[in-house]
């Protein structure tokens, strides 16, 4: 019984923390000169962050790359690879602390693993400088993009343990070091203008967002509300069951389609992996699939295992509910559509939460009345509508 209150509390806590905290770490990072960048990304490896602003008219990209070198005398590096993926071909900016204590930024033309030459890059780099504080190094630079109208680049980033005679010592070869590369969409992460309603490049993401928000974020919660509350009214039997099944099965169908678009987006975006969003998505798909099979394994109402089946079915149902809502917000953080989309979803889910709360109170009143008016009869436990 208490579970529904805990659930509603969880949802509201989630919503309020989402409203008051930025999800990404990079959004709270500040720069000494109060410089502002229009986008930022928590890079998936090596505790690294990239902030950037694209200036399409000048074809320049201003960046601030932040990373933690393995040691204070180590180095950090961020590169664009105009010719391929990974290190071979990368045009790198590299920063470290010189022996006189000041931070230096150098540029390296890495044409192959064996040819790392300090010198000019294949594109112009302006205003490069670096800072070091609290264990984090920052590289600032403005690069003139290799081609006009470029909106995606292959990026590579890296950290290394030391610098010897002005030359960076080889980095580690851990999975995180080897994975620190990929495509960067310079237009994504836009807080307005991009996302829903934006250009055709965002279309797939928007379809993915809408399918999943409707299924996991709206239909599943409605189905759960129907199952939980309509059931307590004898006149709603068996209509509630069909409504519930309809919501969950159509939610599942749309959700699976949305999940498929997510897998496609994931495999398309090699550079930036949103592992939490992806993992929750996979968990949701698995739980929901188990839930659909549960329908076929449902024991009869009076079967002695029905009680355990109910616990299992309700447990997984609430898990899907909570994970689904969390993942819609994770997705909104990634897609960063215009704020009205997030606001709309918050309104929808809060309304559903409010309806659930109201129905919870009404159900209690109905159940208590029924109990007192039938107090001569022994209470039939199977009629108890609220036993999760
Ligand atoms: C410190 O050394 C770097 C290179 O070793 C040099 O470029 C820089 O000018 C030096 N800074 C000062 C303040 O001497
Ligand atoms: C980088 O190195 C490669 C191979 O040595 C060379 O062909 C290329 O011209 C170099 N790029 C620049 C900008 O110097």
Q: What is the CATH number of the domain that holds 294?
A: 1.20.120.1770
Please indicate, yes or no, whether residues 150 and 214 belong to a single structural domain of this protein. no
Domain boundary among the residues 172, 194, 216 is at 194
Tell me, yes or no, whether 136 lies in a domain: yes
Please indicate, yes or no, whether residues 91 and 237 belong to a single structural domain of this protein. no
Please indicate, yes or no, whether residues 115 and 216 belong to a single structural domain of this protein. no
**Closest ligand to Cα 130:** 1
Please indicate, yes or no, whether residues 187 and 204 belong to a single structural domain of this protein. no
Question: Residue 105 has what pLDDT?
Answer: 94
Q: CA nearest 78: which of 153, 3, 146?
A: 153
Q: Which residue has better confidence, 295 or 209?
A: 209
Please indicate, yes or no, whether residues 173 and 290 belong to a single structural domain of this protein. no
Rounded average pLDDT over 187-198: 40
CB of 103 shorter than 6 A to ligand 1: no
Q: What is the pLDDT of residues 12-23, one digit of tens each?
A: 444 434 443 334
| Residue bearing the CA closest to ligand 1, atom 14 | 100
Q: Band of the pLDDT at 195, cuts 50, 70, 90?
A: very low
Mutation pick for ligand 2 pocket among 83, 88, 117, 121 (CB with most ligand atoms within 8 Å): 117
Q: Which residue has better confidence, 383 or 112?
A: 112
CA atoms within 13 A on the CB side of 44: 21
Mutation pick for ligand 2 pocket among 110, 111, 143 (CB with most ligand atoms within 8 Å): 111
Before 238, cis peptide (omega within 30)?
yes
| The pLDDT of residue 376 is above 80 | no
Question: Residue 374 has what pLDDT?
Answer: 67
Structural domain of 314: 2-15+199-370
Threshold 0.85, pTM exceeds: no
Q: Band of the pLDDT at 11, cuts 50, 70, 90?
A: very low
Question: Residue 75 has what pLDDT?
Answer: 95
Q: Band of the pLDDT at 140, cuts 50, 70, 90?
A: very high
What distance, in Å, lies between the first and last C-alpha atoms of the chain? Answer: 7
| The pLDDT of residue 337 is above 80 | no
Q: Band of the pLDDT at 139, cuts 50, 70, 90?
A: very high
Q: Band of the pLDDT at 383, cuts 50, 70, 90?
A: very low
Please indicate, yes or no, whether residues 309 and 356 belong to a single structural domain of this protein. yes
Q: Is 244 labelled a binding residue? A: yes
Please indicate, yes or no, whether residues 180 and 224 belong to a single structural domain of this protein. no
Please indicate, yes or no, whether residues 226 and 186 belong to a single structural domain of this protein. no
CB of 122 shorter than 6 A to ligand 2: yes
Rounded average pLDDT over 88-105: 92
Please indicate, yes or no, whether residues 90 and 161 belong to a single structural domain of this protein. yes
Tell me, yes or no, whether 252 lies in a domain: yes
CA atoms within 13 A on the CB side of 46: 34
Asked if residue 48 lies in contact with residue 159, where contact means CB atoms within 8 angstroms, the answer is yes
| The pLDDT of residue 173 is above 50 | yes
| The pLDDT of residue 186 is above 50 | yes
Question: Residue 190 has what pLDDT?
Answer: 35
CB of 120 shorter than 6 A to ligand 2: yes
Q: Which two tokens stand for residue 2?
A: 């208490």
Distance, CA of 69 to chain centre: 26
Q: What is the pLDDT of residues 215-246, one digit of tens each?
A: 999 999 999 999 998 887 778 888 888 999 89
Tell me, yes or no, whether 388 lies in a domain: no
Could you identify the atom of ligand 2 that is nearest to the CA of residue 115? 5
Domains: count for the chain = 2
| The pLDDT of residue 76 is above 80 | yes
Please indicate, yes or no, whether residues 218 and 327 belong to a single structural domain of this protein. yes
Tell me, yes or no, whether 37 lies in a domain: no
Domain boundary among the residues 194, 220, 246 is at 194
CA distances, 237 to each of 66, 89, 230, 243, 263 (Å): 59, 67, 8, 10, 39
Q: CA nearest 240: which of 231, 251, 249, 253?
A: 231
Q: Band of the pLDDT at 178, cuts 50, 70, 90?
A: confident
Q: What is the pLDDT of residues 271-316, one digit of tens each?
A: 567 788 999 999 999 999 998 888 888 888 888 888 888 899 999 9
Tell me, yes or no, whether 34 lies in a domain: no
Three-state SS sequence of the chain? CHHHHHHHHHHHHHHHHHHHCCCCCHHHCCCCCCCCCCEEEECCCCCEEEEEEEECCCCEEEEEEEECCCCCCCEEEEEECCCCCCCCCCEEEEEEECCCCCEEEEEEEEEECCEEEECCCCCCEEEEEEEEECCEEEEEEEEECCCCCCCEEEEEEEEECCEECCEECCCCCCHHHHHCEEEEECCCCCCCCCCCCCCHHHHHHHHHHHHHHHHHHHHHHHHHHHHHHHHHCHHHCCHHHHHHHHHHHHHHHHHHHHHHHHHHHHHHCCCCCCHHHHHHHHHHHHHHHHHHHHHHCCCCCCCCCHHHHHHHHHHHHHHHHHHHHHHHHHHHHHHCCCHHHHHHHHHHHHHHHHHHHHHHHHHHHHHHHHHHHCCCCCCCHHHCCCCC
CB of 121 shorter than 6 A to ligand 2: yes
Q: Which residue has better confidence, 343 or 23?
A: 343
CA atoms within 13 A on the CB side of 131: 12
Q: Is 39 labelled a binding residue? A: no
Tell me, yes or no, whether 156 lies in a domain: yes
Tokens 């290190």, located at residue: 87
CB of 109 shorter than 6 A to ligand 2: yes
Question: How far is it, in rounded angstroms, from Cα 356 to Cα 226?
Answer: 9
Proportion of the chain above pLDDT 90, given as a percent: 38
Please indicate, yes or no, whether residues 96 and 239 belong to a single structural domain of this protein. no
- Among 139-153, 258-272, 358-372, whose mean pLDDT is lowest? 258-272
Domain boundary among the residues 170, 194, 218 is at 194
Q: CA nearest 334: which of 252, 251, 288, 276?
A: 276
Q: Which two tokens stand for residue 332?
A: 């909104």
Tell me, yes or no, whether 38 lies in a domain: no
For residue 190, the domain's CATH number is: 2.60.40.1210
Tell me, yes or no, whether 210 lies in a domain: yes
Please indicate, yes or no, whether residues 281 and 181 belong to a single structural domain of this protein. no
């Amino acid at each position: 019984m208490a579970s529904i209150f805990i659930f509603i509390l969880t949802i509201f806590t989630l919503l309020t923390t989402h409203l008051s905290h930025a999800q990404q770490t990079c959004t709270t990072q500040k720069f000494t000169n109060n410089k502002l960048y229009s986008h930022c990304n928590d890079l998936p490896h090596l505790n690294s962050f990239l902030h950037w602003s694209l200036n399409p008219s000048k074809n320049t990209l201003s960046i601030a790359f932040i990373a933690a070198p393995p040691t204070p005398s180590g180095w950090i590096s961020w590169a664009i690879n105009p010719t391929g993926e990974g290190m071979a071909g990368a045009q790198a900016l590299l920063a470290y602390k010189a022996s006189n204590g000041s931070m230096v930024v150098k540029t390296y033309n890495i044409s192959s693993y064996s040819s790392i030459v300090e010198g000019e890059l294949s594109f112009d780099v302006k205003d490069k400088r670096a800072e070091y504080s609290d264990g984090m190094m920052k590289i600032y630079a403005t690069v003139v993009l290799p081609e006009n109208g470029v909106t995606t680049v292959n990026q590579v980033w890296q950290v290394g343990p030391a610098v010897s005679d002005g030359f960076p010592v080889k980095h580690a070869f851990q999975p995180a070091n080897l994975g620190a590369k990929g495509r960067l969409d310079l237009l994504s992460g836009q807080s307005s203008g991009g996302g829903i309603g934006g250009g055709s490049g965002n279309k797939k993401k928007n379809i993915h967002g809408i399918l999943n928000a409707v299924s996991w974020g709206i239909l599943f919660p409605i189905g759960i509300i129907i199952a939980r509350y309509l059931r307590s009214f004898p006149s709603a039997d068996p209509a509630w069951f069909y409504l519930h099944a309809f919501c969950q099965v159509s939610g599942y169908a749309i959700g699976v389609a949305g999940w498929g678009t997510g897998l496609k987006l994931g495999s398309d975006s090699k550079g930036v992996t949103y592992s939490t969003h992806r993992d929750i998505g996979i968990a949701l798909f698995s739980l929901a699939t188990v839930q659909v099979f549960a329908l076929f394994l449902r024991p009869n109402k009076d079967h002695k295992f029905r009680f355990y089946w109910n616990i299992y079915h309700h447990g997984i149902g609430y898990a899907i509910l909570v994970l689904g809502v969390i993942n819609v917000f994770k997705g909104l953080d990634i897609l960063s559509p215009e704020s009205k989309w997030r606001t709309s979803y918050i309104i929808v889910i809060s309304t559903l939460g409010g309806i659930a709360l109201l129905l919870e109170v009404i159900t209690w009143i109905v159940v208590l009345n029924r109990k007192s008016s039938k107090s001569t009869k022994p209470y039939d436990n199977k009629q108890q509508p609220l036993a999760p």
